[in-house]
Amino acid sequence: MAVRADQHAGGLSERKRAHLDLCANEAVEYAGKTTLFEDVELLHNALPELALDEVDLSVEFLGKRLRAPLLITGMTGGTADAFAVNRDLALVAERCGIAFGLGSQRAMQRDPDSAWTFAVRELAPSVVLLANLGLVQATRLPTGSVSQLVAAVGADALCLHLNPAQELIQAEGDRDFRGGVAALARLCRELPVPVIAKETGCGVSRAAAIELRAAGVRCIDVSGAGGTSWVRVETLRGDERSRALGALLATWGIPTAASLAMLDGLGVELIASGGVRTGLEIAKAIALGARLCGIALPVYRAYRAGGIGAATAFIEHLVEGLAAVMLLTGARTPDELARQPVVLGERLRAWVAAGTGRTGLSLAGAMHGSPLRHD
């Protein structure tokens, strides 16, 4: 029987180190496909009747109050370098009053001695902390083992990440994705914390979201195309086969804005990640239905360039931009922003029409109150 590469000692750790190095130094974002946030427009309010100090960015998520609707999404774990990243970015999240996600705990599940690389709860006691495990791995584990991984890090919820495209590119990746829906239903039913279904850069279609909802998932991180491409990351670190398949699938995925708009009206809480880079894009995502926005690559690169201070300044810059946009729409809170009219461009409306099976949608129509608002 062939032995998978990451079953060799150090194989998984080396992959994690390679991921961090590539994300820090290489062109790992989509080329030729965008998030389509440029196809979203908010309406300017020339009479906002607000002072900037009155704009309240805080939101409730998982029973805790965040100072802004932001999440530093899970990136890494399992190595000493990974612990430094998790530790410092968790401190940034604590300082800024936002949520923080851990990277995949697959390494911790395979090697319990690596648990310390995920141990950030004592450093960030008040953050909303998200555990993380691949759905493929979760299908093979009893609920008790998954629950232990969550409890060991003191997490408020578990992200089960969906990454079939990334796995297909990896020479050592998984090839069998059966049983995921049943595992989701089991874990939603049996875990003591909420389950968040999270893509990893290719977006979530409406059909997939309906399946997730039926399985009991009440929060979805769409993690759409247009930002970091894990197909691209795996292509850069892969062998000849990986490079060929990666080139074929280089632009695969549903743009982040399109995924958000497709999931409108399903009654699940949405997190928007995948190429969110500015306060304006955060505002657009919230207007499209997102409860939170997730950021990874730009905050990691800011951290690599200037440490905790630079990463904190980057988050503060996002918050300042979001507050300005909210004032200019007349929205005092994120809930008010979520009720603002949204104008969608032709490309985005085409994606939504394809994803929902509705055609002939008026380009000029605002999203809220238009045919794009679904039951």
Q: Residue 228, exposed/middle/buried by CB under 10 A (0-12, 13-18, 19+)?
A: buried
E strand residue ranges, 127-227: 129-134, 157-162, 195-199, 219-221
What pLDDT, on a 0 to 100 scale, did the predictor assign at position 358?
66
Tokens of residue 28, six digits: 């790992």
The answer on pLDDT for 3 being more than 50 is: no
Nearest to 290 by CA among 17, 40, 11: 40
Distance CA 261, CA 160 (A): 22
Structure tokens at 166: 């990334």
Residue range 322-332: mean pLDDT, rounded: 98
Q: At what angle do helices 11-25 and 80-96 cross, to 10 degrees?
A: 50
Q: How confident is the model at residue 359 (pLDDT cuts 50, 70, 90)?
A: low
Kindly report the pTM of this predicted structure: 0.91
pLDDT(368) > 50: no
Which tens digit of pLDDT belongs to each residue from 192-251? 999 999 999 999 999 999 999 999 999 999 999 999 888 888 888 889 999 999 999 999
CA gap 73, 51 in Å, rounded: 31
Question: What are the residues whose beta carbons fall under 8 Å from the beta carbon of 14, sequence distance 6 or more?
Answer: none
Query: Is residue 5 over pLDDT 90?
Result: no
- CA dist 266 and 281 (Å) reads 22
Give the pLDDT mean for 52-69.
97
Per-residue b/e over 254-273, b at no fewer than 16 CB within 10 Å? bbbbbbbbbbbebebbbbbb
CA distance 112 to 218: 30
Of the chain, the percentage scoring pLDDT greater than 70 comes to 93
Tell me the C-alpha to C-alpha distance, in Å, between residue 201 and each of 60, 112, 204, 229, 274: 25, 28, 9, 6, 6
Q: How far apart are CA 217 and CA 160, in angstroms?
A: 10
Is the pLDDT at 171 greater than 80, yes or no?
yes
CA distance 294 to 318: 12
Identity of residue 270: L
Binned at pLDDT 50, 70 and 90, residue 16 comes out as: confident
* Token duo for residue 106: 């697959």
**What SS3 class is residue 218?**
coil
pLDDT of 9 reads 36
The pLDDT assigned to 210 comes to: 98
Identify the CA nearest to 188 among candidates 152, 149, 160, 153: 160
SS (H, E, C) 98-148: CEEECCCCHHHHHCHHHHHHHCCCCCCCCCCEEEEEEHHHHHCCCHHHHHH
pLDDT of residue 361: 42
pLDDT confidence band for 366 (50 / 70 / 90)? very low
pLDDT at 309 > cutoff 90? yes
Task: Give the pairing type, strands 290-295 and 269-272.
Answer: parallel
Q: Can you tell me the distance from the alpha carbon of 74 to that of 155, in angstroms, rounded to the nearest whole number?
A: 12
Strands 269-272 and 99-101: unpaired
Going from the C-alpha of 265 to that of each of 15, 60, 168, 256, 329, the distances in angstroms are 39, 20, 32, 16, 22
Higher pLDDT among residues 260 and 234, named by residue: 260
How far is Cα 75 from Cα 23, in angstroms, rounded to an integer? 10
Tell me the mean pLDDT in the region 123-149: 96
Average pLDDT in the 61-75 region?
96
355 vs 372: CA distance, rounded Å: 11
**Pairing between strand 129-134 and 64-66?**
unpaired
What's the topology of domain 51-339? TIM Barrel (3.20.20)
Pick from 138, 186, 184, 132: nearest CA to 155: 132
Query: Does the structure show a pLDDT above 60 at 64?
Result: yes
